[in-house]
């Protein structure tokens, strides 16, 4: 089965290898009449881009994109939106060493088993560069959701042993971009940076946790049974390179709570029904209840014994 | 969008409300010629059944099933397998109280928001009784996988504050069924049972963690990018009632490891390529590598302030 | 790949063999709050039923149905609607002869090739009895569409060499049910009936054409490119047993027209834009234009040399 | 719902407007290790190209393509194959007149109704230029099928009132390319060409019929019930611009035959089971039976009163 499509009504199909001519994708199902701000796409692509600091991998590509269809005079037409992102930095030779060994914790071995070959120029299709196409799709989706008043923020809540408190309500989202690890706690961010730089000197790296908060989602979204809102969110997040876990609401810690502690009691707030706590993470029975949706995922370190490159790209 | 189907090649569609005449489903895509052992189905349905002890909810149904198509003289025909499981214990009146209040941490409120009504006879479609249809589907799938030598075991690894060690390799799977909480560590199981009984006296309950190990999966299964093997597993597990988190391989704890600690080095074992550690949980780049696949999920306690029933059914 | 599901938002999955205990299906995605008239379902099932006359196959089953979920107190709940239709007339022995021969123009041989076996009790899954589950699904869909003012009528426009004129606008739909072949032209209907009875005496049968007209479809329905409205209609109709062709609008005859003859000119009718002719059959670029949608399909005769039964069931 | 994807295991998603920068698509699910001959792709794209004669529309584009991913050193990698075909002849001004009128029998009006706007530069997404992306996909698929020995040929069997006999077995496929209408009957081809040229002088055009024959398909392909092989073929063909009908095997003419005439009797041919006639068109119960698969479709003339251009592009 092909596995390069995500979504049903708003559907993203992506393509591209890390060291081929380009990566990109097609968004099918985006409604007509949506005004698209190209700067938001560029901004999101730059945020994703590795090589922004000494910390992450050195490859530095501006990630210019081209839109081939579906947007006319800055507005979506209802037709599929096709886009490409050039790979300006194709360096097949740097990776020659890989020809002889499977890199640990990479997809070299499994792709070889599945497809009978592997692309030794970088990670090929399994490269984290693939996520640039997701970021493009997300930048369109975010503009669509923003029209409905939905706000999405995410930040790094842990790097190695350094962890923020679990309570996202204490977080000042405006501080997320103020440091290169994107941890809104300035003091902790410094510790994270120092730790990463020390590891880097030893040719090592580490993992971390990202927390995401979605505000002002109307109640009633999501499907029952197999396509629960958090199950689809979980699949999306788990499909990102190096993610090894997903939890929402009270998550793994919440499993130790008693039912009486964990229950989110309903109450009236003006004409609206809300819950007095939010251990459910904004989702009950797989359907949004109007409270904040929040979740975390963990990302494992990759480490290449052959050339010291990190697993991202 | 309808949300009652899971899978692509082997596809399960389920139906049924907790207090309607029956629940059931259709399995489409099961290969022809598979010998089906009805006792395995019955056994798996009994394992799922609540009311096996003082600990879980009181509702006690034998869960007889009927197969309406797709199996002829004990062998699958390649046609869709339809099955029903009668609801023998329809008690609409017990739930009359719910008509007046949304139960906390249940789907009463969100179903009402989505569908404009809710089924006050139990949880309707959102009831955990829905999982009986999954168990039926799983019992067929397990017989199919078993023919390829794949073995699947799962056990309770935590209840409230009582947790087993993370290392599943120390677990004796033959002990899983030896106590009612299905924790293979007998001493810990006793503590769990005592804790649950004490909570029950107070009309309370708690959550837990289940760990699953899949052995002898051939390398090369799973898809790249969006349909990674662990992403599909994660979606399946997260879609089960009350599950709030999923992690595989080194999971959330592994995010604090350094790359050099976390890497699973390849080595030769006879003619086979294996890894010396298994932080990847048997999956790399979304594709199985032939090592054990293992994952855990957390299940939150539900608690009904109206009648003390647990959230399961 | 499983092939027993049709539709995306309103999705029907069916099951059942002609001589197993029951056939049936699950409708997933039917909106909540739709009032269901069971008499309409019964009426449609009786229309489909063979054995209504001397003309069609002798098997006579009342086709009672049972609804297992998704409808509560006569109103849809938004949950999947599961239904079963009992096979009261299970006659495995009548078909014993088939064990030794592939019936011509049936699926005996191809099922054997695909699944490695065949169900010699009737046609198994390939029996036209499978269409009873479609009729049930259609009876629900028709009640949903009827709420939007959409009207669907179909009639027999040809049997063997006897054909009605192509112009459906001359047809009086109220006459469709006035004879057993359901041809609204009484005189032609008599000829058809006589012809079929003569053929029957010789143990033979023939094919025919059905024409369908859908009125008051709003403009703008259907999708571009691969999922054009008429492509989905065509697939649905072609998937019915014994259908060998589908045409809409001017159809095969229209291919001989010149462009200037064939063009449907737009004009204003009050505030509405309509076309002065309707060779497009109400669909342009795969999307409805608000005019009548009409199409025809041909159904080939089946004939069983073993027992003289027709191909339908 | 998005409608720009076709297929399940081998899945084509296309994009592009007639007068945007490029059209193209992504093929997901093509097996790894398939040698791709670029000349076959170029050849098929040139066959499709309008402007090859005085007969069809004047627009003349070489249809160069670029492959962005999924093929490395001439061999498929198992990753999605992305391709673009530049629109070298972007002439938005020629179409300025359309801004003021809906062209008859085009999608101008329906796209306007569906999307709230239309692309007045040509037909936008509804242009027949979209089929170039299908041809690219087909050229890959044909190379894959050719490895299994499957052969596909198609020819023009009717133009306006000029029709070939129905019996494809009398057709010499090697003559298909010997004239510009691609009718393998030289004499009839001349009549078709003369007729089209006369119509062209009057600024008019006409429709026609295409017949396709697929040889050496193994028995057992296709799915039961809704996804019958001919139903999927029919949907694919009906989704091509201007196609108004599809028939396979004996088709509409076959509906007038009696059952005894129509039946394809099985017989042994060496160790193989074949049928002595082929009214079933190689498909029984939706599944291939190993005989030739053949079908026809009709294509209606389009005619633009504004500028005399044909409907194709």
CATH 3.60.150.10 for domain B1-147, yes or no, is yes
Q: How confident is the model at residue A166 (pLDDT cuts 50, 70, 90)?
A: confident
pLDDT at D94 over 80: no
CATH of B149-313, one of 2.60.40.1220, 3.40.50.2000, 2.40.110.10, 3.60.150.10: 3.60.150.10
CA dist., res. B244 & res. D161, Å (int) = 67
| B–C CB contacts, 8 A cutoff, strictly below | 149
For residue D155, give the DSSP letter. Answer: E
Among C2, C81, C124, whose Cβ lies nearest the Cβ of B11? C2
Contact with chain D for residue A70, Cβ under 8 A: yes
Region D59-75: what's the mean pLDDT?
84
Q: How far is C48 from chain D (nearest CA, A)?
A: 17
pLDDT at C99 (0 to 100): 60
Burial label, B145 (beta-carbon count in 10 A; 0-12, 13-18, 19+): middle
Identify from A1, A2, A224 which residue to disrupt to test chain C contact, counting C C-beta atoms within 10 A and taking the largest count: A224
Instruction: Name subunits touching C (3+ CB pairs < 8 A).
Output: A, B, D
Q: What is the pLDDT of residues C208-256, one digit of tens each?
A: 999 999 999 999 999 999 999 999 999 999 999 999 999 999 999 999 9
Q: What is the pLDDT of residues B7-56, one digit of tens each?
A: 999 999 999 998 899 999 999 999 999 999 999 999 999 988 875 655 55
pLDDT at A303 (0 to 100): 59
CB contact under 8 A, A224 and B9: no
Asked whether A292 and A233 are in contact (CB, 8 A), the reply is no
Name, in order, each residue with C-beta under 8 angstroms of C153's C-beta and a sequence gap of 6 or more: C173, C176, C212, C213, C215
| Parts of chain C belonging to CATH 3.60.150.10 | 1-147, 149-313
Region A151-179: what's the mean pLDDT?
95
End-to-end CA separation in angstroms for chain D = 25
pLDDT at A21 over 80: yes
CA dist., res. C210 & res. C230, Å (int) = 16
| Cα D155 → chain centroid | 11
Q: Would you tell me how many other CB atoms lie within 10 Å of the CB of residue D64?
A: 11
Asked whether B200 and A260 are in contact (CB, 8 A), the reply is no
List of chain A residues whose C-beta atoms are within 8 Å of the C-beta of residue B260: 204, 303
Burial label, A261 (beta-carbon count in 10 A; 0-12, 13-18, 19+): middle
pLDDT at D118 over 70: no
Chain D residue whose CA is closest to A30: D2
pLDDT at B309 over 60: no
Q: How confident is the model at residue D154 (pLDDT cuts 50, 70, 90)?
A: very high
Contact with chain D for residue A78, Cβ under 8 A: yes
CA dist., res. C146 & res. C36, Å (int) = 12
Among C79, C84, C111, whose Cβ lies nearest the Cβ of B125? C79
CB contact under 8 A, D255 and C310: no
pLDDT at A62 (0 to 100): 64
Region D14-40: what's the mean pLDDT?
95
pLDDT at A55 over 60: no
Contact with chain B for residue D31, Cβ under 8 A: no
Identify from A1, A14, A34, A79 which residue to disrupt to test chain D contact, counting D C-beta atoms within 10 A and taking the largest count: A79
Q: Would you tell me how many other CB atoms lie within 10 Å of the CB of residue D147?
A: 11
List of chain D residues whose C-beta atoms are within 8 Å of the C-beta of residue C235: 226, 231-232, 234-235, 238
pLDDT at A137 over 80: yes
List of chain B residues whose C-beta atoms are within 8 Å of the C-beta of residue A250: 244, 300
The predicted complex's ipTM stands at 0.93
Contact with chain C for residue A79, Cβ under 8 A: yes
Q: What is the pLDDT of residues B172-213, one digit of tens each?
A: 999 999 999 999 999 999 999 999 999 999 999 999 999 999
Q: What is the pLDDT of residues A72-107, one digit of tens each?
A: 999 999 999 999 999 976 655 555 555 668 888 889
Asked whether B107 and B122 are in contact (CB, 8 A), the reply is no
Q: How confident is the model at residue B92 (pLDDT cuts 50, 70, 90)?
A: low
Contact with chain B for residue D224, Cβ under 8 A: yes
Name, in order, each residue with C-beta under 8 angstroms of C258's C-beta and a sequence gap of 6 or more: D160, D199, D204, D205, D206, D301, D303
End-to-end CA separation in angstroms for chain B = 25
pLDDT at B62 (0 to 100): 64
Instruction: Name subunits touching B (3+ CB pairs < 8 A).
Output: A, C, D
Q: What is the pLDDT of residues B108-146, one digit of tens each?
A: 999 999 998 766 555 789 998 999 999 999 999 999 999
Q: What is the pLDDT of residues A183-231, one digit of tens each?
A: 999 999 999 999 999 999 999 999 999 999 999 999 999 999 999 999 9
pLDDT at A92 (0 to 100): 54
Chain D residue whose CA is closest to C11: D226
Residue percentage of chain B with pLDDT more than 90: 78
pLDDT at A119 over 90: no
What's chain A's Rg over C-alpha atoms?
Answer: 21
pLDDT at A58 over 80: no
Side-chain-side CA neighbours of residue A212 (13 Å): 15
| A223, B66, C6 from B27: Cα distances, Å | 20, 14, 15
pLDDT at C19 (0 to 100): 81
Chain A residue whose CA is closest to C78: A224
CB contact under 8 A, C259 and D311: yes
To 5 degrees, how large is the angle CA C146–CA C152–CA C153? 140
List of chain B residues whose C-beta atoms are within 8 Å of the C-beta of residue C116: 32-33
**What is the average pLDDT value for chain A, to the nearest integer?**
89
How many residues are listed for chain D in this entry? 313
Q: Would you list the DSSP string of B58-69?
A: S------EEE-S
Query: Taking a contact as any Cβ pair under 8 Å apart, which residues of chain C between 188 and 217 contact chain D?
Result: 199, 202, 204-209
| C–D CB contacts, 8 A cutoff, strictly below | 345
Query: Taking a contact as any Cβ pair under 8 Å apart, which residues of chain A between 139 and 158 contact chain D?
Result: none
Name the stretches of chain C with pLDDT < 70. Answer: 51-62, 89-100, 118-122, 303-313
pLDDT at B60 over 50: yes
pLDDT at B134 (0 to 100): 98
CB contact under 8 A, A275 and B104: yes
CA dist., res. D262 & res. D268, Å (int) = 19
Contact with chain C for residue B76, Cβ under 8 A: no
| B–D CB contacts, 8 A cutoff, strictly below | 3
Q: How confident is the model at residue A52 (pLDDT cuts 50, 70, 90)?
A: low
List of chain D residues whose C-beta atoms are within 8 Å of the C-beta of residue B8: 8
Bridge partners for C112 per DSSP: none
Region A103-126: what's the mean pLDDT?
83
Asked whether B102 and B112 are in contact (CB, 8 A), the reply is yes
Residue percentage of chain A with pLDDT more than 70: 87
Per-residue H/E/C for chain A: CCCCEECCCCEEEEECCCCCCEEEEEEECCCCCCECCHHHHHHHHHHHCCCCCCCCCCCCCCCCEEEEECEECCEECCCCEEEEEECCCCCHHHHHHHHHCCCCCCCHHHHHHHHCCCCCCCCHHHCHHHHHHHHHHHHHHHHHHHCCCCEEEEEEEEECCEECCCCHHHCCHHHHHHCCCCCCCHHHHHHHHHHHHHHHHCCCCECEEEEEEEECCCCCCCCCHHHCHHHHHHHHHHCCCCEEEEEECCHHHHCCCEHHHHCCCEEEECCEEEECCCCCCCEECCEECCCCEEEEEEECCCECCCCCCECCC
For residue B236, give the DSSP letter. Answer: H
Question: Phi/psi of residue A236, each to 5°?
Answer: -55, -45
Name, in order, each residue with C-beta under 8 angstroms of C251's C-beta and a sequence gap of 6 or more: C281, C295, C296, D244, D245, D298
Weakest-pLDDT range from A104-118, B55-69, B195-209: B55-69
pLDDT at A162 (0 to 100): 98
List of chain D residues whose C-beta atoms are within 8 Å of the C-beta of residue A115: 32-33, 77-78
Asked whether C30 and C136 are in contact (CB, 8 A), the reply is no
């Amino acid at each position: 089965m092909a596995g390069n499509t995500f979504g049903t009504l708003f559907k993203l199909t992506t393509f591209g290898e890390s060291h081929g001519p380009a990566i990109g994708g097609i968004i099918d199902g985006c409604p007509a009449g949506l005004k698209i701000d190209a700067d938001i796409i560029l901004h999101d692509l730059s945020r994703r881009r590795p090589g922004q600091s000494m910390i992450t991998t050195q490859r530095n590509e501006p990630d210019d994109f081209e839109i081939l269809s579906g947007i006319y005079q800055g507005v979506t037409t209802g037709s599929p939106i096709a886009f490409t992102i050039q790979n300006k930095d194709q360096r097949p030779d740097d990776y020659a060493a890989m020809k002889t060994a499977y890199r640990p914790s990479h997809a070299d071995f499994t792709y070889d088993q599945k497809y009978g070959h592997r692309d030794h120029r970088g990670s090929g299709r399994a490269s984290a560069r693939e996520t640039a196409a997701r970021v493009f799709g997300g930048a369109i989706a975010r503009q669509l959701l923003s029209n409905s008043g939905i706000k999405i923020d995410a930040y790094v809540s842990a790097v190695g042993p350094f962890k923020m408190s679990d309570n996202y309500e204490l977080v000042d989202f405006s501080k997320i971009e103020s440091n290169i690890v994107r941890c809104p706690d300035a003091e902790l961010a410094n510790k994270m940076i120092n730790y990463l730089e020390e590891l880097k000197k030893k040719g090592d790296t580490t993992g971390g946790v990202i927390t995401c908060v979605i505000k002002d989602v109307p109640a009633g979204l999501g499907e029952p049974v197999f396509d629960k809102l958090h199950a689809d969110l979980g699949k999306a997040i788990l499909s990102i390179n190096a993610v090894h876990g997903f939890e929402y609401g009270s998550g793994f810690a919440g499993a130790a709570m008693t039912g009486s502690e964990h229950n989110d009691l309903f109450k009236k707030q003006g004409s609206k029904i809300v819950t007095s706590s939010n251990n459910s993470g904004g989702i009950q029975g797989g359907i949004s209840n109007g409270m904040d949706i929040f979740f975390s995922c963990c990302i494992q370190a990759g480490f290449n014994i052959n050339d010291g490159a990190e697993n991202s790209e």
